[in-house]
Amino acid sequence: MAILLDGKALAFEIKAELKARVDKLTASGRSVGLAAVLVGNNSASEAYVNNKAIFSEEIGVYSEIVRVSAKSSTMGLIAVLLALNDRPDITGIIVQSPLPKSIDEREVSEAVLPHKDVDGFHPQNMGRLVLGRPGFVPCTPAAILEILNRYGHSPAGKHCVIVGRGNIVGKPLAIMLSEKSLGNATVTVCHSATRDLSHHTRQADILIAATGRSLLIKGDMVREGVVVIDVGINRIEDKSSPKGYRLVGDVDFDSVEKKAEAITPVPGGVGPMTVAMLLSNTVKAAERARK
């Protein structure tokens, strides 16, 4: 039976650590604020933003949800972000994805000041990550490393296989895992053009699935004793559920869990820790501004 890598429990621990840092900042007269920009009326985005607001308030961080019409133009959204850049009470800014197709995500990501980009998506922060220089790193890759290290599964010297090469998880995670000061691991990145995916996944000491394809990784695709991080959150039909669906990951939990040494659940694994890392970046932004 695999050990469950409980992200929800870890996030609770980190919440207490962050609250102590926020209390120190506020005692010295320094504000800590997170602005979450929500474009349109996507119900999933609404839920994510509300979770971030609740976490913020629990550790004493001022939280503000800025709502923008789905009909807004790229320049209209950028104008909102420029106004937030100028506010000293806001130390961190995020723009909740997905955005309407009419909005240029690249331009939007560049509009947030790098020192307020707590999502870690600004080209300057991405460039710093590649060069191994200090900056804000994307929250989900940071959450994965935090889970591994806090549960005693340091990636150093191990073979980490990432399934997925997206800009939000796969690419930055590959850099972080291979960086000597962060992961110091040997990294293989698999994707839609990879031949014989199972061959590669069976070589992994640590396997990270981040494809958005439900139940892609089966039990026969992993070796005994693997550590599995499941980033996926997918809805599949389930008539027995009151909602008519249930959430599953990119990993077939039931078959993989029998062979794994440790595995993250979905939900309750990477998701809560991603929110914790977002708030960690927000607090860090306030600490850096103070200096």
Confirm if 188 and 163 have CB atoms less than 8 A apart.
Answer: no
152: left (phi over 0), alpha (psi -120 to 50) or beta: left
Task: Please indicate whether residue 47 or residue 172 has the higher confidence score (pLDDT).
Answer: 172
Reported as a single tens digit per residue, the pLDDT across 245-282 is: 889 999 999 999 999 999 999 999 999 999 999 999 99
Q: Is CATH 1.10.10.10 correct for 139-271? A: no
Confirm if 63 and 33 have CB atoms less than 8 A apart.
Answer: yes
For the entire predicted model, the pTM comes to 0.94
Reported as a single tens digit per residue, the pLDDT across 109-144 is: 999 999 999 999 999 999 999 999 999 999 999 999
Asked whether the predicted pLDDT for residue 167 surpasses 60, the reply is yes
Domains 30-114 and 139-271 share a fold: yes
| Residue 289: band (very low, low, confident or very high) from pLDDT cuts 50, 70, 90 | confident
CATH of region 30-114: 3.40.50.10860
The domains of the chain are located at 30-114, 139-271
Q: What percent of the chain has pLDDT over 90?
A: 89
| Active site members | 52, 96, 119
